[in-house]
């Protein structure tokens, strides 16, 4: 249903070990949004000339470790990022959506066309969140990893805030 070759349950499986076992030559391209130990596992399992695109680090948003490297803690010490990238001639590139506002409209149009054609499925979490007062609960729900798909908060358009 999710349309991928292999789902890794990060809560029950060691992501690093799964990637190392199932992709012994490494991964050519990673689209990474979690950060922390998942980022480390992805970097460690890049192929020679592999590329890692960072679009966020949700694991560090709630406690601010995303912005403060001294606050990070990893389960095991890892070689410095520069050394790990150099050893594989690999690269990491940040992708901050706000830097690409001119491309939004054509790409959103393309995504909607793919959804309408049945070539792309959009998954929305079934947990109901209603009103601005439930936004914090919705964010907590997402950070706790309880969602499958996008978390949506329904707003009352008649509300006068």
Query: What's the pLDDT tens digit per position in 59-102?
Result: 777 666 666 655 555 555 567 888 889 999 999 999 888 899 99
As a whole number, mean pLDDT of residues 94-112 equals 92
Give strand ranges (E) for 15-117. Answer: 27-32, 46-54, 91-94
As a whole number, mean pLDDT of residues 34-38 equals 88
Residue 47 to residue 23: CA distance in whole angstroms: 9
pTM score of the predicted model: 0.72
What pLDDT is stored for residue 82 in this prediction? 87
Residue 120 to residue 114: CA distance in whole angstroms: 5
């Amino acid at each position: 249903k999710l349309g991928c070759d292999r789902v890794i349950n990060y809560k029950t499986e060691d992501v690093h070990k799964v990637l190392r076992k199932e992709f012994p030559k490494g991964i050519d391209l990673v689209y990474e949004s979690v950060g922390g130990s998942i980022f480390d596992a992805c970097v460690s399992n890049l192929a020679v000339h592999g590329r890692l695109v960072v679009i966020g680090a949700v694991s560090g948003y709630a406690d601010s470790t995303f912005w403060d490297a001294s606050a990070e803690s990893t389960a095991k010490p890892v070689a410095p990022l520069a050394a790990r990238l150099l050893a594989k001639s690999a690269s990491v590139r940040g992708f901050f959506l706000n830097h690409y506002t001119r491309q939004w409209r054509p790409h959103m149009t393309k995504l909607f066309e793919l959804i309408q054609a049945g070539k792309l499925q959009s998954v929305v979490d079934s947990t109901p969140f209603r009103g601005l007062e439930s936004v914090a609960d919705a964010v907590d729900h997402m950070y706790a990893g309880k969602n499958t798909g996008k978390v949506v908060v329904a707003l009352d358009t008649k509300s006068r805030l």
